[in-house]
Amino acid sequence: MKLHYSATSPYVRKVMVCALIRGIAGLLDKQTANPHQSPAELLADNPLSKVPALVTNDGTAIYDSPVICEYLDTIGSGAPLFPPTGSAPRLKAMIRQAAADGILDAAVGRRLHMAHPQDDGRKAFDARQKVAVERTLAALEKDPPRGLGDIGAISIACALGYLDFRFAHEPWRDSCPKLAAWFAEVSKLASLAETVPVG
């Protein structure tokens, strides 16, 4: 399977963590892509020009990390990462995934806006996204995951890793000690340790 890939994308990292846990990372042919340049190879498989984008062996193009992760959960021999449809654990995992992806959307948006002149509109945007991240971290602190056993926990771990990677000057651990303790523990696991972004 072909995976349009960027080593610093937290959404790609989520896919790679799932693939490692499911024991299928070796099946992925990683094709480095810069989505900001809209390369033809990526556009052919994802008209949104975003990574990750996965092309299955039968030629089906799948994009958006939640969809790719759910597809990967149907192959491989690792423990399932998506609880059964209709179950309370699935609902909780999906809510956590949405919260973590919301953190990433806000943080990635802030990162992209940093490259532009900081007029009042961009400053207001940045402040709004920063507060959204802080509120969501506070909500997750009330009920942090245990282990790295489902897509919700994986998504949260990747979101926290991205905050450390791109916003290390804005520490979050002091206000979220339970989340910090959980993240320190799961960060030792191979699936997260092998996918830490560098750059």
pLDDT tens per residue, range 102-115: 999 999 989 877 77
The pTM of the full predicted model, rounded to 2 decimals, is 0.95
Could you give the domains of the chain? 2-72 (3.40.30.10), 88-189 (1.20.1050.10)
Query: Could you report the per-residue pLDDT of 148-197, keeping only the tens digit for each?
Result: 999 999 999 999 999 999 999 999 999 999 999 999 999 999 999 999 99
- In degrees, rounded to 5, the angle at the alpha carbon of residue 196 between the alpha carbons of residues 195 and 197 is 105
